[in-house]
Amino acid sequence: MKLPRRKFLHLATGAAALPAVSRFAWAQTYPSRPVRWIVGFPPGGGADITARIIGQWLSERLGQPVIIENKPGGGTNISVQAVVNSPPDGYTLLLVGAPAAINATLYPSLPFNFLRDIAPAAGLAWYPLVLEAHPSVPATVAELIARAKANPGKITMASTGIGTSSHVAGELFKMMTSVDMLHVPYRGDVLAEIT
């Protein structure tokens, strides 16, 4: 059977568009159940609050609950591993922070390859790093450096955990100023700030 050219072009166009139409129809059914959003930091901190605020907005937009699940520990490696082990179906999200990039240099044999196993979806927030001192220590940055040099190893430096951005920034500060401060890692920013 010989098809007229115009009829052939119509059929070819329809055949080419069919995969796109079926993907579009599938995408409209997502999500059909709750979405898990795993956060590698303890409840109450900046990352957790960010996830809860955006999770509420996302839940209203998707029409399904977005469940925030805190899995702190291991410099966020526990949370990344949980997401890597989840089915790649779009129902498990990960809140990624700087520790995920830092960990690739700190741990030589992670059970995952972050760049291969995690796909980015959106940028949400920037968190500034700030040098803070207890109110009972009236000191400028220069005075703090002088005090640390005069008392090596006696001034403590809190961080939100080993391998976190606050830890790496503190180590960089120590290196750049040639001071010896004692690193005290906490389990998240809430504990580091209230002590």
Cα 19 to its chain centre, rounded Å, is 34
Q: Which of 80-89, 126-135, 185-194 has the highest mean pLDDT?
A: 80-89
Mean pLDDT of 28-43: 92
The values of phi and psi at residue 69, to 5°, are -125, 110
> Is the Cβ–Cβ distance between 49 and 76 less than 8 Å?
no
Mean pLDDT of 150-161: 92
For every residue of 85-116, which 3-state class applies, written as one string? CCCCCCCEEEECCHHHHHHHHHCCCCCCCHHH
Structure letter (DSSP) for residue 76: G
User: Sorting pLDDT into bands at 50, 70 and 90, what band is 8?
Assistant: very low
Q: How far apart are CA 88 and CA 67, in angstroms?
A: 17
- Domains in the chain with CATH codes: 35-117 (3.40.190.150), 141-194 (3.40.190.10)
pTM (two decimals): 0.71
Does 43 score more than 80 pLDDT? yes
